[in-house]
Amino acid sequence: MRHWKRRFTSLSLTVKSVSMRLWKRQKRRSGSRRKLTTMDTRSPATRAFARLFLFFHGRARLYTPDFTSPDSERYIAHCARNFRETGCNQTSDSVYELSSASEYRTDVVFFHGLRPGPAGEHLSTWRSKTGEVWLKWLHKDNPSLRILAVSYDASMKKDSRNGRMDIYQVSENLLRELITRGVGQTGPVIFVGHSFGGIISKEICRQAHQNRDLGDDILKRTTLLKNLRGLFCFGVPHRGSLFTNVVEKLNFEKGELVDYVKVLNKDLARLNDVFDRLCTKYEWKVAGVGESKPTKLKNGFCDIIVEEASARCGDFSILEEDHFSLCQPKSRDSSSYTILVEFIDKIQRKVTNIATNDQEGEQIQQQLVKQLASQCCGMVGVVKRKLSESFSCLWRSIET
């Protein structure tokens, strides 16, 4: 029985391949701009072959893995196997921990962007050209980093299950789960976003700031904002993207998040204004990289998805990559990886210097108290003179 199924599957796939070749050949001869899914039914042979193709293709789906359907059990098993192979630990509904660190750690949280379907992007977005999840390189190069990746409803297609949550709902859920996992509660935290993921991270910051008076986690929200040190952006459309015009022409209902990155969107402009003020208040660092090559999609689209004028922010660099390869470095020597590592190292050095200065300040204060106590003991008339000398000596040491 299994042997018969394998032969049947092989035959159906062969028919499918041949039919697609004939389809493309007919399209080239006709010179039509119609999609390949619309055949010219004038030829009886074409109609007969189409019936044969549909018959075999429908039967083949019974015996071949359907990795294009997110509801498929085979697809779910495929994703679960990827999680095990990469050592990904799902700590909540939306947060995945790729590596842990010591108590004195730096949390680095990665946010993926929009996607055509509901397939899990928290890992596939961050795969290198060799198929390896390169986020683990960061922990191997710097064991003090705890690497986290989030997943959320970022489907561009709206149906009964996907693409129904707006940016407020998505950010609210992610903020709650990140706080529950202790992100930014014991040490510095850095947000890294690809495409729409950078917009989501900004909205999380705004909600953490504006909703500090709501709920039982007021102190935790404030702590997260104070410990957040920077945002790194991989092709983030801070001022919108013209790619939304292409999405509108597709034959499906758009998800709730698509309109948010339209060019000249007022909600996006307001978010940028709030985030800029938060950067000034909390002294956050912002850096990013942008694409310079067009991105080729299966529907024939070939253009730059996020223009430099929209992606530019903070310490910015343009790389010779497209929108997707921008966050998929080939090796540790790739520019996108080295720029991110340098950004993280710079923040960690600054945090270490601040901690060292605070420690020195505490030591000076303790020394001040000890000297004052020793000078005051047993003195009557010359206390003021001795105190002033001690203060002046300590102030000179502080200034130097």
pLDDT of the residue at 67 = 39
Residue 150 has pLDDT above 80, yes or no: yes
- C-alpha angle 353-359-363 in degrees, rounded to nearest 5: 145
- Mark whether 83 and 218 lie in a shared domain: yes
State the greatest distance between any 2 C-alpha atoms of the chain, in Å, as a whole number. Answer: 118
Q: Does the pLDDT at position 170 exceed 90?
A: yes
**Strands of the 95-99 sheet, one edge to the other:** 89-90, 95-99, 145-150, 106-111, 189-194, 228-234, 285-291, 315-319
pLDDT of residue 62: 36
Q: Do 300 and 156 sit in the same domain of this protein?
A: yes
Domain that holds residue 366: 361-399
pLDDT single digits (tens) 300-314: 889 999 999 999 999
Mean of pLDDT values over 91-111: 87
Beta strands in the chain (DSSP E): 89-90, 95-99, 106-111, 145-150, 189-194, 228-234, 285-291, 295-296, 302-303, 315-319
Q: Is the pLDDT of residue 382 over 90?
A: no
Determine what percent of the chain is predicted with pLDDT higher than 70. Answer: 64
Angle in degrees, CA 27, 29, 34, rounded to 5: 30
Q: How many CA atoms lie within 13 A of 216 on its CB side?
A: 1
Position 161 in a domain: yes
Residue 136 resides in a domain: yes
* CATH code: domain of residue 216: 3.40.50.1820
Tokens of 26: 């007919």
Predicted local distance difference test score (pLDDT) of residue 398: 56
- Residue the block writes with tokens 């705890």: 146
- How many domains does the chain contain in total? 3
**Encoded amino acid at 35, one letter:** K
Q: What is the pLDDT of residues 335-345, one digit of tens each?
A: 999 999 999 99
Give mean pLDDT, residues 225-235: 98
Mean pLDDT of 167-180: 95
- Counting DSSP H helices and E strands in the chain, the numbers are 13, 10
Residue of 398 and 76 predicted with greater confidence: 398
Res 38 pLDDT > 60: no
Of 169-173, 243-247, 270-274, the range with the lowest mean pLDDT is: 243-247
Rounded to the nearest integer, the mean pLDDT of the chain is: 79
Determine the average pLDDT of the residues in 246-262: 88
Q: Looking at residues 153-161, what average pLDDT do you find?
A: 90
In a domain, 276, yes or no: yes
DSSP string, 284-299: -EEEEEEE-SPEE-TT
User: Mean pLDDT throughout 117-136?
Assistant: 81
> Does some domain include residue 356?
no
Beta strand pairing call for 145-150 and 95-99: antiparallel
Q: 257 and 117, same structural domain? A: yes
Tell which residue, 341, 390, 338, 347, has the closest CA to residue 369: 390
Neighbouring residues of 254: CB distance < 8 A, sequence distance ≥ 6: 156, 157, 158, 163, 247, 248
Residue 122, classed as helix, strand or coil, is: helix
Does residue 68 sit within a domain?
no
Six-digit token pair at 303?
A: 């253009």
What residues contact residue 311 under an 8 Å CB cut-off, 6+ apart? 233, 235, 236, 237, 238, 288, 290, 291
Residues 84 and 158 reside in one and the same domain: yes
Residues 154 and 296 in one domain: yes
DSSP summary character for residue 182? T
Same domain, 178 and 98: yes
What are 347-378's pLDDT values in tens digits? 999 998 765 544 545 555 556 555 655 555 55
Judgement on whether residues 199 and 106 belong to the same structural domain of the protein? yes
* Strand 228-234 relative to strand 285-291, pairing: parallel
288 & 313 share domain: yes
pLDDT exceeding 90 applies to what percent of the chain? Answer: 50
Confidence bin at 87 (pLDDT 50/70/90) = low
- Is residue 65 in some structural domain? no
Token pair recorded at residue 279: 């950067």
Phi then psi for residue 355, to 5 deg, are: -65, -40
